[in-house]
Amino acid sequence: MNRPLQWFNLAGVLALALLAVIQWQANRHVNLQLINAEAAELRQSRGLAEKDQTIQGNIEDMNEFRARVAKAATELEEQCSAVKAAEDKLAGVEAERARLAASVEGLKAALEQWKAAVAARDTELKQADARAAGLVTDRNEAVGRFNDLATKYNAAQDQLKQAAEEVKKLAAERDETAAKFNELAAKYNALVQRVNEAATRP
């Protein structure tokens, strides 16, 4: 009677031990899954934090690029205005040069007229000795006019030379401004390309 009961108790103890082992394995499996889930959640949280930092950095880079593009556009507009002003000034100088050239042509025509008058005067001197005194007076007056015309001609030549030097100076300034304009345009295009690449980047 006691022996079957002992066997029954032994079987119950073994069954309880088996159930305990099974429960321990189940608990271990659940704990491992929980640990793996927590590790995966931690990795995802870190990944999301890194992505947030990357996105924030991209946003800051985008804002910086936009500021640079705006600054480059402003500088480009200023250079365009400077080029326009230089071209307007150059056009004014060229108009002044044309006016001075026309004045020089007028002086040359007057000089030719004076030469013709001198030739006629010399002919009259040879043909009429009786009018020598009057012709001397006319000659002196003609010489005075010639000197006046020569003075005006020389002054016009100086003004024309100054205008030519000013035109050269303005042309050099225009070339320098155009070079700066092209450099700014290249920088502007490069910045726009970088902004577009940053905008299309996933």
Q: Percentage of the chain surpassing pLDDT 70?
A: 93
**Number of alpha carbons in the 13 Å side-chain half-sphere of residue 135:** 16
**Which CATH number is 132's domain given?**
1.10.287.1490
In which band, very low, low, confident or very high, does the pLDDT at 56 lie, cut at 50, 70 and 90? confident
Q: What is the DSSP string of 143-198?
A: HHHHHHHHHHHHHHHHHHHHHHHHHHHHHHHHHHHHHHHHHHHHHHHHHHHHHHHH
In which band, very low, low, confident or very high, does the pLDDT at 134 lie, cut at 50, 70 and 90? low
**Number of alpha carbons in the 13 Å side-chain half-sphere of residue 50:** 6
Number of domains in the chain: 1
**Cα-based angle 62, 64, 68 (whole degrees, multiple of 5):** 115
| Phi, psi torsion values for 123, nearest 5 degrees | -65, -45
From residue 178, alpha-carbon distances to 87, 164, 190 in Å are 11, 21, 18
What gap in Å lies between CA 126 and CA 40, rounded to an integer?
Answer: 125
pTM, full prediction: 0.30
Q: Give the model confidence (pLDDT) of 163-172 as tens digits.
A: 778 878 887 8
Kindly tell me the number of DSSP H helices and DSSP E strands found in the chain: 2, 0
Q: Give the model confidence (pLDDT) of 86-127 as tens digits.
A: 778 888 888 888 888 888 888 888 888 888 887 887 777 677
From residue 188, alpha-carbon distances to 70, 76, 180, 201 in Å are 9, 8, 12, 20
| Structural domain range at position 147 | 2-200
